[in-house]
Amino acid sequence: MKHLRSVDDLSTWEIEQLLHDATMFAKGEQWAPAAQTFIANLFFEPSTRTKMSFEAAERKLGLEVLQFEASMSSTQKGETLYDSVKTLEAIGANAVVIRHQQDRYFEDLVENIQIPIINAGDGCGHHPTQSLLDLLTIQQEFIVLQGLTVVIAGDIRHSRVARSNASLLKRMGANVYFSGPEEWFQHNDEPYMTMDEAVEKADVLMLLRIQHERHQEKSTVTTAAYHQRYGLTVEREKKMKPTSIIMHPAPVNRGVEIAHELVECSRSRIFKQMNNGVYVRMAVLKWALEQQKEEKVDGYSISG
């Protein structure tokens, strides 16, 4: 069974195919499975974009959405994630979309779960569908990824988006740098730029929020001080190259990592990213369901 745990589960060919399918869906192309198909969305962490865009993607593909509210589920009675997913599989879910606070939660599942698991974010680990939608957004802008300078700025160590995007963008030939407080970096040897350097050199400036919920200690830096030292201020934006774009996976903390006025400025692609998210998730669901169908046919099981 092929799952989407991280972008490493995808070959470069599969990534290109997913972006192609997402582009076709954005142009109005239709696809639907041959038989009734159920998808369960299990979100154990808050989400607006990922949860809503998966649901929009599922409905656009004609899939039946099984809603799961962690706070009203048997998780509250001590049921493990494995038992919840095994239950959904038994009930007839054809794939599960999971967001969970535990890094690599899927390691406890993959051995015995026979339906695709699509990772919608695991702790500080990975967020593959965010990376794919970010890649699509960059490709729409620049066509060729090779040689682009991408600066990912902010709370690098706690960001699954930073990890997934750095991995995918490097694979596609981009030059990836990090910016922000160095104590929030994963390794000391990561290529670094100050925000003043980043605004002049980046083709893509990708800002991240501070993930306070994952910090062990409360930060002593004030919002205003963070914005002035590490953030994209109105003054800094003026030094960006004419063709450069601003990205952010959101949610945005306006006035912290990015000035309020810049969130919707002409070089911002933040809401375009969200729009692309629906089409990328349609493509990912199609990929998951098609490969599951192929495996069933190969295994002489019922095909849908």
- Residue 209, annotated ligand binder? yes
* Distance in Å, CB of 295 to ligand CP, minimum: 29
Q: Does 133 bind ligand CP (CB under 6 A)?
A: no
Whether 130 has a binding-site annotation, put simply, is yes
Nearer to ligand CP, 47 or 303 (CB): 47
- Does position 251 interact with ligand CP (CB under 6 A)? The reply is yes
Closer CB to ligand CP, 43 or 292, in the complex: 43
Bridge partner residues of 98 (DSSP): 42, 119
Q: Does 50 bind ligand CP (CB under 6 A)?
A: yes
Give the number of other CB atoms < 10 A from CB of residue 74.
Answer: 12
In angstroms, what CA-CA distances link 67 with 43, 72, 90, 122, 280?
10, 11, 16, 19, 21
- Compute the distance between CA of residue 238 and CA of residue 236 in angstroms, rounded to an integer: 5
Q: How many CB atoms lie within 10 A of CB 271?
A: 12
Is 164 a binder of ligand CP (CB under 6 A)?
A: no
Distances in Å between the Cα of 164 and the Cα atoms of 99, 130, 237, 274 are 15, 8, 25, 17
C-beta of 193 vs 232, nearer to ligand CP = 232
What would the x/- binding string for ligand CP be over residues 29 to 48, using CB under 6 A? ------------------xx
d(CA 192, CA 58): 39
From residue 87 to residue 126, what is the string marking binding to ligand CP with x (rule CB under 6 A)?
A: ----------------------------------x-----
Smallest gap from residue 273 Cβ to ligand CP (A): 8
Residues 191-250 that bind ligand CP (CB under 6 A): 249-250
Location of structure tokens 């409360």:
218
Query: How near is the Cβ of 290 to ligand CP at its closest, in Å?
Result: 25
**Interface pick for ligand CP out of 6, 130, 137, 268 (rule CB under 6 A):** 130
Nearest alpha carbon to residue 100 among 115, 128, 121, 126: 121
- Cβ at position 48, least distance to ligand CP in Å: 4
Q: Is 299 in the site for ligand CP (CB under 6 A)?
A: no
Of 14, 24, 38, 49, the one binding ligand CP (CB under 6 A) is 49
63 and 291 Cβ atoms separated by less than 8 Å? no
The neighbouring-strand residues paired with 175 are: 149
The nearest distance, CB 96 to ligand CP, in angstroms, is 16
Q: Tell me the number of residues near ligand CP by CB under 6 A.
A: 10
For residue 204, the one-letter residue type is V
- For residue 246, the minimal CB distance to ligand CP (Å) is 15
- Tell me which H or E stretch contains 169: helix 160-171
DSSP codes of every residue in 86-143: HHHHHHT-SEEEEEESSTTGGGGTTTT--S-EEEEEETTTB-HHHHHHHHHHHHHHHS
> Is residue 250 annotated as involved in ligand binding?
yes
Tokens of 195: 């925000």
Spatial CB neighbours of 94, under 8 Å, sequence gap ≥ 6 = 33, 37, 38, 39, 115, 116, 289, 292, 304
Question: Site residues (CB under 6 A) for ligand CP?
Answer: 47-51, 121, 130, 249-251
Annotated binding residues for carbamoyl phosphate, written as ranges, equal 49-50, 99, 127, 130, 250-251
Annotated binding residues, written as ranges, equal 49-50, 77, 99, 127, 130, 160, 209, 250-251
Annotated binding residues for L-aspartate, written as ranges, equal 77, 160, 209
